[in-house]
Chain A
Amino acid sequence: MSILVIAEHDNASLNPNTLNTLSAASKIDDDLHLLIAGNNANSVVQEAQSIAGVSKVLSANHESLADGLAENIAWLVKGLASNYSHILAPASNYGKNFMPRVAAMLDVMQVSDIIEVVSDDTFVRPIYAGNALITVQSSDTIKLITVRSTAFDALAAEGGSASVEEVEFDQAFDRVEFVSRDVTVSERADLSTARIVVSGGRGVGSQEDFSLIESLAEKLGAAVGASRAAVDSGYAPNDFQVGQTGKVVAPDIYIAVGISGAIQHQAGMRESKVIVAINKDAEAPIFQIADYGIVDDLFDVVPQLIEVL
């Protein structure tokens, strides 16, 4: 049987995490179908057709699918499920929102946030903020899985020529309506995919001084992240949060500035290739996982870094 992957997109372009999710799926089976659930998302369908390894693109086009409402996507996916052995989606906020809804409707116990495919029914996922890894074997007939995108290399975006099949869908759950979206506009690289991430924590001290983190990121062409403490204090918007309950990142370089390194923060960045910590507290737990540390005042070190770079 084939595998269905649900693409994440904004009706204009595909989110790169879709390529990582497909990559995880390809370790289970090589007949991959990709569902684009959206509204006038023709450019996304075209993009999907070119992905190497996708044999068929399913296109469901309806205004009820325009804004990613979980209730509607769940109905759509449930209707398609009987054709598939596995259904996968990225473990992003998008996938986390609708996939458990599909799972319950199908009476399936979802496997969340997998980091390894052991076999077609056995998967590894982190628990306790990544402080333990659990290997589970699913006995459900259809397996529903969300994928941690940083744990799988992306499939190639080019080289494929998948066919397209239109899927009829016109349902709309009448007790939920999309009202508005407030997207953080940043000139910086995307946090989830950037090669370098500079993150600020409580030590930065204020929203004004957070511009120092921005300046260093600009100099490095890096994305900007933040610890939960910095977000809770209003120094940075919520979508900057890296950690157990925020984004999980694994860049080549992660620079933690004024971040103590609580367990829940480490959960979001400990797979980074090289970790740099700048903190005036030599006892901060972040130094236990950092490859390079500077024990000094960030307000001295960061301007020096900007100057030397």
Chain B
Amino acid sequence: MKVLVAVKRVVDFNVRIRVKLDGSGVDTDNVVMSMNPFDENALEEALRMKQAGIASEIIAVSVGGDESQDTLRKALAMGADRAVLIKSDELPEPLGIAKLLTKIVEQESPEVVILGKQTIDDDSNQTGQMLAALLNWPQGTFASKAVFAGNSEGDKLNLTRETDAGLETLQITLPAVITTDLRLNEPRLPKLPDIMKAKKKPIDVIEADSLGVDLANRLKVLKVSSPPEREPGVIVANAAELIDKLKNEAGVL
């Protein structure tokens, strides 16, 4: 089966971001960018499906400007067979991205689409669920384990997902959308020869405007601000002093 994996270029998780002084957004000039961590889990899962003989071809797809080709090159270096860039200089909202991905699913007919459960920039946690809804496919979100098994009724997926109370397992009939949690797997680091090989793998570029999707934003950004700072605290010497401070100074114990 074909597997489609969506990846996004985001500010690296180690970067301490700065809000622009005019309140228009977050400063992303000259900061380290990388593949959204959950998307690495998504790609890794697809690669393991291929190693296990379940997946035949892995296609990485990203929505963004030309610089998102870097992220797709990384996906190719990790082991994706080919890549598609849906080129859009303005990044659409999750609803728009889900609609664009629907078009790629129509073109490529994958049986599984895997996405990170959220991106660490916008933190919306929506795109996978929206894509599943638009395709009228079942969704296995926040996955920590995915076991594929065929039977007479078609391909089945036993998917274990993380919940606020622990874990739950669903049986899903393909095609399906999976969104990944961090415990699903440990993503591999691309090796140098694979990075070299990835340079020769194809990246198709499709203009977002050519896909006939309404990408007008529904949310108008009025302001981006920094959260209130916490006052600096004090270092105490030992357990007894800590308890005393919590009781008598902070009054919380």
Known contacts A132-B227, A179-B171; A273 and B166 CB within 8 A of each other: no
Residues 226-283 of A contacting B (Cβ, < 8 Å): 228, 231-232, 237-239, 244-245, 247, 252-253, 263-264, 270, 273-276, 282
Report B-chain residues with C-beta under 8 Å of the C-beta of A184. 165-166
Main secondary structure of the interface of A (DSSP, over half): mixed
Interface size on A, residues (CB 8 A): 89
A92 at the B interface (CB under 8 A): yes
> Is chain B's interface secondary structure helix, strand, loop, or mixed overall?
mixed
Q: Which residue of A lies closest to B217 (CB)?
A: A109
Q: Per-position contact with A for B183-227: 1 when CB-CB < 8 Å, else 0?
A: 100000000000000000000000000000000011111111111
Question: Cβ of B252: which chain A residues have Cβ within 8 Å of it?
Answer: 252-253, 273-274
Are A132 and B226 in touch, CB under 8 angstroms? yes
Question: Is there contact, CB below 8 Å, between A96 and B166?
Answer: no
Taking a contact as CB atoms under 8 Å apart, the answer to whether A245 and B126 are in contact is: no
Which residues A120-145 have CB closer than 8 A to chain B? 122, 126-140
Docked pose: A69 CA to B220 CA in angstroms: 32
Q: Do A290 and B26 touch (CB < 8 A)?
A: no
How far does the Cβ of B87 sit from chain A's closest Cβ, in whole Å? Answer: 21
**Among listed A34-42, A158-166, A169-177, A205-213, interface-contacting one:** A169-177
On whether the beta carbons of B95 and A103 are closer than 8 Å, the reply is: yes
Known contacts: A179-B169, A179-B171, A308-B243. The answer to whether A245 contacts B118 by CB under 8 A is: yes
Given contacts A181-B166, A244-B120, A304-B238, contact A103 B130 (CB under 8 A): yes
State which of B11, B166, B222, B236 has its C-beta within 8 Å of the C-beta of A293. Answer: B236
Task: Say which residue of B138, B221, B250 sits within 8 Å of A176 (CB atoms).
Answer: B138
Q: Mark B214-253, 1 if CB is under 8 A from A, else 0.
A: 0001111111111100111111111110110110001011
| A245 cross-chain contacts in B, Cβ below 8 A | 38, 117-118, 181-182
- Of the residues B98, B125, B220, B239, contact of A96 by C-beta under 8 Å: B125
B243 touches A305 (CB 8 A): yes
How far is it, in angstroms, between the C-alpha of A103 and the C-alpha of B96 when the chains are bound?
12
Which residue on B lies nearest to A91, using beta carbons? Answer: B125
**Cβ of B253 to closest chain A Cβ, rounded Å:** 7
- Taking a contact as CB atoms closer than 8 A, the residue among B123, B139, B239 that contacts A308 in the complex is B239
Q: Are A264 and B138 in contact (CB under 8 A)?
A: no
B4 to chain A, nearest CB (A): 17
A178 touches B170 (CB 8 A): yes
Residue A85 at the chain B interface, CB threshold 8 Å: no
Chain B, residue nearest A180 (CB)? B169
- Taking residues whose C-beta sits less than 8 angstroms from the other chain, chain B's interface range is 35 or more
In the complex, the answer to whether B129 meets A228 with C-beta atoms within 8 Å is no
Chain B residues, CB < 8 A from A247: 164
B58 interfacial by beta-carbon distance below 8 Å: no
Q: Contact partner of A238 among B132, B183, B239, CB < 8 A?
A: B183
Closest CB in chain A relative to B69 CB, distance in Å: 23
Is B183 within 8 A of A182, CB to CB? no
- Give Cα A74 to B11, complex, Å: 32
Contacts known (A101-B130, A104-B130, A129-B120); A176 close to B227, Cβ less than 8 A: no
Q: Interface-forming stretch among B12-20, B77-85, B106-114?
A: B12-20
User: B220 touching A136 by the CB < 8 A rule?
Assistant: yes
- Residues of A95-133 at the interface with B, using a CB-CB cut-off of 8 Å, are 96-105, 107-113, 122, 126-133
The answer to whether A109 touches B95, judged by C-beta atoms less than 8 angstroms apart, is: yes
Q: Given known contacts A131-B17, A136-B221, A179-B171, is B129 in contact with A104 (CB within 8 Å)? A: yes
Q: Enumerate chain A residues within 8 angstroms of B237, measured Cβ to Cβ.
A: 294
Q: Is the CB of A109 within 8 A of B166?
A: no
Could you jot down 8 A-B contacts, CB within 8 Å? A109-B93, A110-B124, A133-B227, A138-B218, A176-B172, A253-B246, A293-B234, A294-B237
A-B residue pairs, 3 tightest by C-beta: A109-B218, A304-B239, A104-B130
